[in-house]
Amino acid sequence: MPDQSQAIEDAKKAAESDQWRPLPYISKSRLKTYVTCPMKFWFKYIEGRKTDATFYTARGTEVHRTYEHFYENVSERLSEAFESRTLSQYLPGKETGHGRRGAADWADHMDPFISSFLRFEKRRREEVLEKAANVNADAATDIGVEWWEPVGIEEEGWLDYDWNDPRWNVPLMGFADLIVWSASLPDDIVEANHGVTILDFKTGSVPDPQYRDEGIYLEQEFYATIFEQTMEDHKVTGVAAYYPKSDTTIGAPLSDDRREYMDQKLHEMVALSFHGDQGHFPIDEQPLCAWSNSNGEGMCDFYGDCDSMWGLPEFNGPTYDHAVEAKPDDFYGNEEDAAEVSGEGIYNISEL
């Protein structure tokens, strides 16, 4: 398989020459953006508008890179690392020990992102040792080493999806942060002690339960869809997410209903993208359009160019001065115009 950047570049070139491929590929980020707001998806992935990097995205990149190189270092000296009292020596860029691969500036993120992560790995190591002892006490260490070893690090997966229209040619793709043996995770996270689990690292806060179905659970369903069919040697028996900020692991229960919902959204996304008309992408009016809370004020990256009415006096909801100021001077119309631009619902795909 081509390296990551080459595979993506090849997909982009293929889309340019294939009229039935309105998108080069679909990632979990594209799916999640569409589910959050189809109009935001239009701005970001159809028009291709760039957004500025933030402190949080930069931090996430640095932390993920640190984790990736940690696992590479551990994999090179697996038996030694399994019995080591100090896993920190396998972090990248250390002058002592064996953690010299891929120096990264992770010191600023030590607490909580690195320190919590090291505790997570120690717990995973203890988990496999306990389970291995139940299988064969005399060989517990040898079995534990095998179960603790990563199955995949930044594993890349591509899947030719089963579209309703056979002419569509848009693959699904994703990078699994880590693939581990399911036996290395507690039973309350992944019930199965056989097969593998797709593990995603999240540097944000743990989402409230009411937001998980269309958030982290949907992302994990997407990962499972890809890797269930692309991992020939291993059965995917679980998906999970680890949040180092609060040292919390969430198991994402796979669901036929969620898989059906994901399929519906994927087909909507591709149908609307193929149609190529901004007017067919509805706006999902919601607090993520513009907000003001104890953490400050904010708005969607595309709010100033979007017809969203959220946060404006004309909308039946909260009014924010910074939202009003973000709109162009010629934005405001009469009530009939306002009702039209804040349209509700999803277009019927059969009408496109």
Q: pLDDT tens, 145-199?
A: 999 999 999 999 999 999 998 888 899 999 999 999 999 999 999 998 899 999 9
How confident is the model over 292-315, as pLDDT tens digits?
Answer: 988 789 999 999 999 999 999 888
Are 163 and 270 within 8 A, CB to CB? Answer: yes
At the topology level, CATH places domain 1-49+150-277 in Lambda Exonuclease; Chain A (3.90.320)
Q: Is the pLDDT of residue 285 over 60?
A: yes
319 to 84, 220, 287, 298, 307: CA distances (angstroms): 56, 35, 11, 13, 15
- Say what angle helices 28-36 and 216-230 make with each other, to 10 degrees: 150
Q: What is 38-105 written as a DSSP string? A: HHHHIIIIIS-------HHHHHHHHHHHHHHHHHHHHHHTHHHHHH-S-GGGGSTT-SSTT--SS---
pLDDT recorded at residue 344:
39
Are 22 and 163 within 8 A, CB to CB? Answer: no
- How many whole angstroms separate alpha carbon 31 and alpha carbon 27? 6
Q: Does residue 112 have a cis bond before it (omega within 30 degrees)?
A: yes
* Four-residue CA torsion sign, 245, 221, 175, 87: positive
- How many whole angstroms separate alpha carbon 52 and alpha carbon 240? 29
- How many whole angstroms separate alpha carbon 222 and alpha carbon 93? 34
The residues spanned by each domain of the chain are 1-49+150-277, 53-148, 282-351
Are 170 and 163 within 8 A, CB to CB? Answer: yes
Q: Which residues have CB under 8 Å from 306's CB, separation 6+?
A: 39, 40, 43, 283, 289, 300
Closest of 317, 312, 306 to residue 343, by C-alpha: 306
Q: Is the pLDDT of residue 87 over 90?
A: yes
Global pTM exceeds 0.85: yes
156 to 6, 116, 199, 249, 347: CA distances (angstroms): 12, 26, 13, 22, 33
- pLDDT confidence bin for 332, thresholds 50/70/90: low
